[in-house]
């Protein structure tokens, strides 16, 4: 997926239509994912961004807020309210790092750890909604990671 574009290139008119823009396909698909996840995650009491935070914590149950923000590409202004709500729901706890008081460490509670048992149900439901096999999902994910890498390198 190498992007080698000349300084100017002639783009067919059909490709200029909104529905044919790659950026719009990614954008609208992201919104469709969020809408598809909503009823699934409502059953376990999470929003989609909260689910992403929990996925990060299920991989490593104690992390600095900064590390979670970097993984999810979220700034602290967006992440802090998510963490506050997860803490209010008893899924995580936030504490100051004893070695560096400026750092806040997030860790799972027993309730948050137990919720990890829902991941198979959530992933199965979203897989069915997406209508893709696990192999197809791996292929799409690989293409999207390559695209993200190219776009990140371009700026």
145: buried, middle or exposed (CB in 10 Å: 19+, 13-18, 0-12)?
exposed
Let me know if residue 1 belongs to a domain: no
User: Whole-prediction pTM value?
Assistant: 0.86
Q: DSSP of 45-112, one letter per residue?
A: T--HHHHHHHHHHHHSSEEEHHHHHHHHT--HHHHHHHHHHHHHTTSEEEEE-SS-TT-EEEEE-HHH
Average pLDDT value for the chain: 93
- Name the pLDDT band for 4 (thresholds 50, 70, 90): low
Q: Domain range holding 73? A: 18-154
User: For a pLDDT cut of 90, what percent of the chain falls above it?
Assistant: 86
Let me know if residue 29 belongs to a domain: yes
Let me know if residue 118 belongs to a domain: yes
Let me know if residue 3 belongs to a domain: no
Query: Based on the structure, what is the number of domains in the chain?
Result: 1
Let me know if residue 6 belongs to a domain: no
- How many whole angstroms separate alpha carbon 87 and alpha carbon 92? 5
Each residue's pLDDT tens digit, 80-129: 999 999 999 999 999 998 888 889 999 999 999 999 999 999 999 999 99
Let me know if residue 8 belongs to a domain: no
Let me know if residue 148 belongs to a domain: yes
Let me know if residue 63 belongs to a domain: yes
Q: What is the CATH number of the domain that holds 142?
A: 1.10.10.10
């Amino acid at each position: 997926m190498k992007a080698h574009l000349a300084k100017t290139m002639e783009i067919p008119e059909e490709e200029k239509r909104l529905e044919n823009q790659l950026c719009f396909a990614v954008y609208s698909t992201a919104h469709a994912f969020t809408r598809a996840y909503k009823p699934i995650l409502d059953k376990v009491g999470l929003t989609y961004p909260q689910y992403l935070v929990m996925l990060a914590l299920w991989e490593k149950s104690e992390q600095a807020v900064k590390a979670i923000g970097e993984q999810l590409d979220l700034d602290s202004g967006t992440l802090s309210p998510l963490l506050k709500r997860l803490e209010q729901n008893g899924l995580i706890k936030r504490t100051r790092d004893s070695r560096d008081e400026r750092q806040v460490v997030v860790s799972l509670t027993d309730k948050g750890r137990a919720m990890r048992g829902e991941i198979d149900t959530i992933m199965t439901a979203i897989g069915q909604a997406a209508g893709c096999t696990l192999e197809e999902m791996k292929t799409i994910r690989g293409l999207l990671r390559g695209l993200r890498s190219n776009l990140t390198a371009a700026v």
